[in-house]
Amino acid sequence: MLIVDGFDRIKDYKSGSHNFSAIYFETLRDNATLRINSAADEMIDAGTILLSDYDIVLWFSGDESSADRIFNGTNKTKVKAFLDNGGKLIITGSEIAYNLGRSGATEYDYSFMTNYLKATYISDGDILIDNPNPVTGATGTLFAGVTLNLGENYTARYPDNISPYGTAITILNYNIAGRFGGIAYKGTFGSGTTPGGVIYLGFPLETASQPQITTFMAKALTYFEVTLPVTLHSYNATLQNTGAVKLQWQTASETDNKEFIISRSVDGQQFSAIGKVVSSGNTTTGNNYVFYDKKPVNGINYYRLEQQDFDGKITDLGIRDVNVSLTDNKVEVYPNPTQDIVNVAFVAGVYNQIQLIDISGKILRQISLGSSTTQTTISLSNLASGTYLLKFNGNVPLVKKIVKN
């Protein structure tokens, strides 16, 4: 897949640089295992990057206008060849139809609009300022249920109101009756004989929130029949008050999904599996999953989530990181009260020694800890019933009270 950055204009975004390619990359990465490159549209024009090397192209142009010669002759020639040969195109931006489908516009090209973008220009207007949250998935389509709250990254003025042409369909509606924000089409283009597809949005998708873009991209990839064993809606890792790390993910759909594999790394390179979670197998509505790492290491913990099919194929679903700092609540002592033994779990590298002490202050036992040790068991079988102390020695000394019945 190729992400093409055609957004050079500085007006509503008001900055000479942006990270929208990275945002789009992350929304795609969270939905499928793809090989993703990105390039400026000038590299497409120059022939440095060939669209024919890719299966899918995501082309965003922000709020570029006629002054920027949006989709000039060279752009259109490259895109035509790509679609003629069965390529799949996602194109998003305001003013595209205004400049290509409006009679009298600088780059007016009705044939390209109708035969390749599969849409016609209806109207233009500053509808996002007075009418927030304007885009929702069209009922009865794959995109039903999608919501895009535009304007979170910058105000996108003058989105295009477009209509599907031929056998194309409307997939997104603005919140004003009779205004359409997105169309989709699958089939052949021009003189081509290999079916391709186009999803054309009359507004800048990157103005919506990243989770909403991720949801939209899942639908778009499904529309283009990209086979995904698991479509993720979200994946988060958070540090809990107990010192454990909570991994939580939500799927939008699952196909022949056997299980999830959770692996941890301290450097982001070398991972070791720390657990598995059984999945639902097949679902079109998705599920919520939770896994707790009760023994994270001190410092940054990287968590890789993988999905395994019933046939053994493994798909990487992404990596999240959590910084585990030195605090008092990263020690677990259980069971407590106890009769014979007490188990202790803690963050590796924080403590170098544990002392068992009676209430008079006498040290009854000392246990040395290695730098990678995260748990140990202490026997109390030869001690009288009563209260004892566990003193954890290290950078941040800690004392825990235990009771033997």
Cα–Cα distance, 164 to 158 (Å, whole number) = 19
Do you know the residue count of the chain? 405
Instruction: State the pairing for strand pair 398-404/375-379.
Output: unpaired
Residue spans in the chain of domains classed CATH 3.40.50.880 = 2-223
* pLDDT at residue 326, as a whole number: 52
Q: pLDDT tens-digit profile of 278-307?
A: 998 888 888 999 999 988 887 899 999 999
Q: pLDDT tens-digit profile of 35-87?
A: 899 999 999 999 999 999 999 999 999 887 666 667 777 889 999 999 999 99
- CATH architecture of the domain covering 230-324: Sandwich (2.60)
Is CATH 3.40.50.880 correct for 2-223? yes
Higher-pLDDT residue of 372, 183: 183
3-state secondary structure of 243: coil
Q: Which of 75, 73, 93 lies closest to 9 in space, CA to CA?
A: 93
Cα–Cα distance, 190 to 54 (Å, whole number) = 19
Residue spans in the chain of domains classed CATH 2.60.40.10 = 230-324
3-state secondary structure of 46: helix
Q: pLDDT tens-digit profile of 131-170?
A: 455 799 999 999 999 999 888 888 777 889 999 999 999 9
Is CATH 2.60.40.10 correct for 331-404? no
Residue spans in the chain of domains classed CATH 2.60.40.3080 = 331-404
The terminus-to-terminus CA distance of the chain in angstroms comes to: 64
Give all strands of the β-sheet with 331-334 in edge-to-edge order: 331-334, 341-346, 375-379
- Side chain identity at 365, as an amino acid letter? R
Q: Which of 82, 109, 93, 101 lies closest to 189 in space, CA to CA?
A: 82
Lowest mean pLDDT, pick from 10-14, 74-78, 393-397: 10-14
Q: How many CA atoms lie within 13 A of 222 on its CB side?
A: 19
Q: Which of 119, 149, 122 lies closest to 134 in space, CA to CA?
A: 149
* pLDDT at residue 358, as a whole number: 93
Cis ω for the linkage preceding 335 (within 30 of 0):
yes
* pLDDT at residue 142, as a whole number: 94
Cα–Cα distance, 130 to 155 (Å, whole number) = 11
pTM of this structure: 0.60
Residue 84's contacts (CB-CB under 8 Å, 6 or more residues apart) are 189, 190, 191, 192, 196
Q: How many CA atoms lie within 13 A of 188 on its CB side?
A: 5
